[in-house]
Structure 1
Amino acid sequence: MSEIKPDSREPASKGTVVDCAPETPNLRTVQLIRKVAILLALLLLVVLAAVSRSSDDMDGNRHETIETIGRVAIIIAIFGRAWCSLYIGGRKKAEIVDRGPYSISRNPLYVFSFLGAFGVGAQSGTLTIATLFVLAAVLVFHFTVRREEIWLDKEFGETYRQYCARTPRFWPNFTRWSDVEELTIRPKFFLLTIRDGLVFLLAIPVFEMIDFAQILGVLNVFMRLP
């Protein structure tokens, strides 16, 4: 994977139509906005989970099954995000990464985040909450990605547009898979991604506490969700 040097970058050509908004954002600002939006969405959904409960509480089998599936999804999301960071960590602003998971999706790290969002919501024991968590994540990341695309198009021009043409934004196209024989790993970014991914695991004790509080009557249940 060759690094694209500053003098070899092609600016976006005049009149080129880019599937993005016209202004160019600062990536650091975009990431900050994304984190705040995710935090607010999580708080709202946790509040919803606190006042609702699974509609099949009488036997609880479906409730427990959904929780278990969610925990598997969280583990896959943590490892998947870490795998992606091996390729993209520290390189996003220096080159177009188009190998490994980035050869089949332009945003595989976010795809694994969607899976993690499902796993977090599934700890409520209801598919409704799990689905709402995924939809919230898709909404937030959709706008984040659109902003990132503006910056990448400006920095890498035609190289980036060719990458967009052959690689889907989210849903993987496995027929496009390609990889490298050797990969330089930057431990700092890998460990940061692991740390961030472990936050998903906090959903397990949080939702268990919500369940316990509902059983004790500390939290009132106002609705039953499938």
Structure 2
Amino acid sequence: MALCLPAILFTRSADVLPELAMELIESTGILLIIAGVLGRFWSILYIGGHKNASIIQDGPYSICRHPLYLFSTIAAAGFGMMLGSLVLMTVLTGAVLIILSDIAAKEERFLRDRFGLAYDAYAAKVPRILPRGRGFSTPKQVTFDVHVLRRNLSDALVFLSLIPLGELMSYFKEEPLWPMIPIY
């Protein structure tokens, strides 16, 4: 995301869409950030306290192997939309997805070493990051570690801080203090 900072700071929307359409895009961005935060909490409910101890295959882990990364990518897309730029949304989403896919590949090498054929079987039926909803499954009850959930609150606050940050950026772009390059 830091690599995208110049684009975030020195570009503005090209104003080719009507104001209502821009408001809709920006509002959708806020909703995607919130969905990313809620999705991360949902994922933590299932993996919290169990990470690297067993292969979690229920809830969000039944639709993709790395739902925390999926929901982080959704939040990044939301931030790009909130900035009012489909180009920034695409760049941020792509950058985050590439980085997290690389991290996921490294984590999976560890998991394959630890769990062997059981992890291979899981990986064969569940996609890495992009979800496949038809395989969703969950037990009637899920137990979770409140301490782990609390620890992950700081991650959520980072994502939620994108909302006022995006609003602040929009304010400064209306009366720019430095030259801005218009993009879509």
TM-score higher than 0.5 here? Answer: yes
What aligned pairs does 1:48-87 form with structure 2 within 5 A after superposition? 48-56=7-15, 59-87=18-46
> Does 1:225 pair with 2:183?
yes
Give the alignment partner of residue 97 of structure 1, picking from 27, 40, 56. Answer: 56
Looking at structure 2, the residues matched to 204 and 166 of structure 1 have their Cα atoms a distance apart, in angstroms, of 36
Looking at structure 2, the residues matched to 173 and 213 of structure 1 have their Cα atoms a distance apart, in angstroms, of 40
Aligned match of 1:204:
163
Looking at structure 1, the residues matched to 89 and 97 of structure 2 have their Cα atoms a distance apart, in angstroms, of 13
User: TM-score, normalized by length of structure 2?
Assistant: 0.92
What aligned pairs does 1:155-170 form with structure 2 within 5 A after superposition? 155-170=114-129
Structure 1: tracts of 5 or more residues without a match: 1-41
Structure 2: tracts of 5 or more residues without a match: none
Aligned match of 2:139:
180
Looking at structure 1, the residues matched to 152 and 64 of structure 2 have their Cα atoms a distance apart, in angstroms, of 18
Taking a change above 3 Å as real, the CA distance of residues 181 and 132 of structure 1, as seen in their structure-2 partners, is same
Aligned match of 1:133:
92
User: TM-score, normalized by length of structure 1?
Assistant: 0.76
Check the 8 A contact 1:213/1:219 in 2, yes or no: no
Aligned match of 1:143:
102
> Does 1:113 pair with 2:60?
no
Check the 8 A contact 2:49/2:144 in 1, yes or no: no
- 1:27-83 CA deviation, whole Å, 9 max, x = no partner? xxxxxxxxxxxxxxx233232122111111785333322110000001111111101
Looking at structure 2, the residues matched to 179 and 92 of structure 1 have their Cα atoms a distance apart, in angstroms, of 17
- Report which of the two structures shows the higher radius of gyration computed on alpha carbons: 1
Check the 8 A contact 2:41/2:149 in 1, yes or no: yes
Looking at structure 1, the residues matched to 167 and 178 of structure 2 have their Cα atoms a distance apart, in angstroms, of 13
